[in-house]
């Protein structure tokens, strides 16, 4: 689906980190708004 980029996260911060792509960031924002988190 291309929502999470593990390779980029590992380059930036080391293992066990991930970076959300554009679709992933939009999904996270929509879920947070729907659940009432700022």
Total domains in the chain come to 1
Which range of residues forms the domain containing residue 10?
A: 4-35
What's the rounded Cα separation, in Å, for the pair 38 and 17? 23
What's the rounded Cα separation, in Å, for the pair 18 and 28? 13
What's the rounded Cα separation, in Å, for the pair 9 and 17? 5
For 11-28, write each residue's pLDDT tens digit.
999 888 999 999 999 999
Q: Can you give the pTM of this predicted structure?
A: 0.66
Q: How confident is the model at residue 3 (pLDDT cuts 50, 70, 90)?
A: very high
Q: How confident is the model at residue 38 (pLDDT cuts 50, 70, 90)?
A: low
Token pair 């999904």 in the structure block, residue: 27
pLDDT computed for residue 36 by the predictor:
85
Tokens of 15: 């293992």
């Amino acid at each position: 689906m291309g929502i999470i980029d593990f390779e980029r996260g590992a380059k930036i911060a080391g293992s066990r980190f991930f970076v959300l792509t554009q679709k992933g960031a939009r999904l996270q924002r929509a879920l947070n708004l729907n659940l009432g988190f700022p």
